[in-house]
């Protein structure tokens, strides 16, 4: 059997003939980023081989790079039939920008974790809901600490909270390492369909949370054993993967989650390195695709108590929607795909150093580009992509159908823009800076993503009998959503024009709602009651969905 050697890791593995380089890397424990999970869409798993080794591969030529180019191949499309050496570029993404805060209503401290000091033994009892879980030496009643983690599809946000007063002691963010193997929810469900894949997903995310925990406790000047409870918020699939529970039922009819949340699990059961006897609380989930992150958002924004009509949207890989009308809540989700996260885009990247995050066309036709880290741009992140397509629409470079074309209007501005339209790989593209561009295929990805969310909005409003102009407010949640601009959302027609002036960006309500649950135990029962009243709606099975989706794709 052939042997694959990976550099610079210096790892070797023997594999059966026909195994792809990506499969070999996973067996060898070598990280190759493949957010589309080997579907061949993202072109992120590019590796390099010596010229002599190329003859030992069978490369499928339907890959985005059209196969072999200067010794570079897509690991997911290259099957190995003899010994090869593979050079893997190190994962060098730096300065990942993640919003860690979000809106929240004030709560009174009444934590699930309490302490009781016994002066006769000079020990402090740690109680969870009144039940003893451990003891500590000395009087430690002045310090009761909890951990909250928002487990996003792309990123992790963690914070230490003083449970006696609700004060945040430290916070930190990181990339969810699962996204390096599979970017979207469905890809992760497929990846975790095998016991080996599930173990990998569970191990990767818990190890990263533990790493964040060490960083947080060092910053706060405490030990990890001083943390007695964690609230772990995230979408339904993320909670399954965290707990090591098979997520495949989420991907097939009738789409029933095995984890419903609203309960504790032992921290040791998932490998979370908090105190001995420590507990992890999973907030209640609404459905297979509307998870605990949205439940936490409902709590943080007090959505069930708002008067009038409110549309709550978490824009991301899995666009979740909640429509609230005087306490009546209807929820759904649409598969927007990873375009808004910068994936499946030719020059797409996460919101890290080098990513274009803001884009404007000035009156003289010159480009104004905002780049994270104020460095030379190397790619485009989600917010920059939204701005870019919006600006090109306004200046006629993109038509209502989504077609990239030379602007018909006269003048220096349009001439400058027309000069940036180039031909590449048999299609059109708009050149932005050196090697950064947006192609016709990229624009189609944006259309698909925004079409899915807009179709969801239209159907949800229609089923509730509410017109867009009767909405009192629109709340945009999530780290990605916070960096968007109202103008771009309206220009792209991702939101109905009637929502202009009614849009608020509420930030990471998954974390802020999780903090509320951590600080006040009464809110857990309250939230469970709210979630039990939410009406889940499967929009994808609606007979009008396809027609509405096709119409919603138009700009």
Tell me: pLDDT of 21 over 50.
yes
Q: How many domains does the chain have?
A: 3
Question: Does residue 519 fall inside a structural domain?
Answer: no
Q: CA distances (Å), 330 to each of 129, 261, 304, 511, in order?
A: 32, 19, 11, 22
Tell me: pLDDT of 438 over 50.
yes
Mean pLDDT across 298-310: 96
Least confident of 74-88, 295-309, 385-399, 408-422: 408-422
d(CA 249, CA 260): 13
C-beta separation of 329 from 310 below 8 A = no
Question: Does residue 385 fall inside a structural domain?
Answer: yes
**Are residues 344 and 398 both part of a single domain?**
yes
Say what the pLDDT of residue 37 is. 61
Mean pLDDT across 155-161: 92
Tell me: pLDDT of 44 over 80.
no
Residue 66: domain span:
3-87
**Are residues 429 and 281 both part of a single domain?**
no
Tell me: pLDDT of 471 over 60.
yes
Which has the higher per-residue pLDDT, 460 or 99? 460
Q: CA distances (Å), 405 to each of 107, 329, 392, 393, 408, in order?
A: 54, 43, 10, 11, 9
Q: Which CATH number characterizes residue 43's domain?
A: 3.10.20.30
Question: Does residue 13 fall inside a structural domain?
Answer: yes
Mean pLDDT across 255-280: 96
Query: For all residues of the chain together, what is the average pLDDT?
Result: 88
**Are residues 119 and 230 both part of a single domain?**
yes
**Are residues 145 and 271 both part of a single domain?**
yes
C-beta separation of 506 from 476 below 8 A = yes
The angle formed by the CA atoms of residues 255, 332 and 492, to the nearest 5 degrees, is 130
Say what the pLDDT of residue 143 is. 92
Tell me: pLDDT of 445 over 60.
yes
Q: Which of 444, 473, 494 is the last residue of a domain?
A: 444
**Are residues 162 and 204 both part of a single domain?**
yes
Residue written as token pair 């449970």: 163
**Are residues 281 and 346 both part of a single domain?**
no
Tell me: pLDDT of 509 over 70.
yes
Pairing of strands 427-433, 436-439: antiparallel
Say what the pLDDT of residue 155 is. 84
The angle formed by the CA atoms of residues 410, 412 and 417, to the nearest 5 degrees, is 90
Residue pLDDT, tens place only, 171-222:
988 889 998 888 778 889 999 999 999 999 999 999 999 999 999 999 999 9
Least confident of 296-305, 323-332, 363-372, 406-415: 406-415
């Amino acid at each position: 059997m052939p042997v694959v050697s990976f550099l610079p890791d210096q790892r070797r593995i023997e594999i059966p003939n026909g195994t792809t380089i990506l499969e070999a890397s996973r067996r060898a424990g070598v990280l190759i980023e493949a957010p589309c999970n080997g579907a061949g869409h993202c072109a992120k798993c590019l590796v390099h081989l010596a010229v002599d080794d190329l003859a030992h591969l069978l490369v499928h030529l339907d890959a985005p790079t059209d196969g072999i180019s200067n010794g570079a191949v897509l690991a997911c499309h290259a099957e190995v039939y003899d010994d090869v050496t593979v050079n893997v570029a190190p994962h060098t993404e730096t300065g990942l920008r993640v919003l860690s805060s979000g809106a929240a209503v004030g709560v009174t401290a009444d934590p699930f974790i309490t302490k009781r000091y016994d002066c006769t033994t000079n020990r402090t009892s740690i109680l969870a809901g009144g039940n003893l879980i451990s003891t500590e030496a000395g009087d430690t009643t002045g310090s009761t600490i909890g951990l909250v983690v928002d487990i996003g599809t792309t990123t992790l946000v963690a914070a230490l909270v003083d449970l006696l007063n609700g004060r945040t002691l430290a916070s930190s963010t990181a990339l969810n390492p699962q996204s390096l193997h599979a970017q979207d929810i469905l890809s992760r469900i497929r990846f975790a369909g095998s016991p080996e894949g599930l173990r990998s997903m569970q191990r990767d995310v818990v190890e990263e949370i533990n790493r964040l925990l060490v960083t947080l406790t060092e910053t706060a000047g405490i030990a990890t054993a001083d943390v007695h409870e964690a609230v772990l918020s995230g979408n339904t699939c993320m909670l399954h993967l965290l707990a090591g529970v098979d997520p495949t039922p989420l991907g097939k009819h009738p789409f029933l989650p095995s984890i419903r949340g609203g309960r504790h699990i032992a921290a040791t059961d998932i490998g979370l390195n908090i105190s001995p006897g420590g507990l992890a609380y999973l907030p209640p989930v609404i459905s297979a695709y509307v998870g605990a992150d949205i439940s936490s958002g409902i709590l943080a924004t007090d959505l069930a108590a708002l008067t009038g009509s409110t549309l709550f949207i978490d824009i991301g890989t899995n666009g979740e929607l909640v429509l609230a009308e005087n306490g009546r809540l209807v929820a759904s989700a649409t598969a927007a795909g990873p375009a808004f996260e910068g994936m499946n885009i030719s020059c797409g990247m996460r919101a890290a150093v080098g990513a274009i995050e803001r884009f404007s066309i000035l009156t003289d036709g010159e480009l104004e580009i905002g780049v994270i880290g104020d460095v030379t741009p190397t790619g485009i992140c989600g917010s920059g992509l939204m701005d870019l397509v919006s600006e090109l629409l306004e200046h006629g470079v993109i038509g209502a159908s989504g077609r990239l074309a030379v602007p018909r209007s006269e003048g220096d501005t349009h001439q400058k823009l027309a000069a940036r339209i180039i031909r590449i790989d048999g299609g059109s593209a708009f050149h932005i800076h050196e090697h950064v561009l947006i192609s016709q295929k990229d624009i189609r990805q944006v259309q698909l993503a925004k079409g899915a969310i807009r179709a969801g909005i239209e159907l949800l409003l229609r089923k509730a009998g509410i017109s867009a102009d009767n909405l009192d407010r629109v709340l945009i949640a999530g780290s990605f959503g916070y960096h968007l601009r109202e103008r771009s959302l309206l220009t792209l027609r991702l939101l109905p024009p009637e929502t202009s002036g009614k849009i608020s960006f509420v930030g990471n309500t998954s974390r802020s709602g999780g903090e509320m649950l951590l600080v006040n135990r009464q809110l857990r029962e309250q939230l469970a009651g709210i979630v039990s009243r939410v009406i889940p709606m499967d929009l994808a099975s609606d007979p009008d969905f396809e027609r509405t989706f096709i119409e919603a794709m138009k700009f």
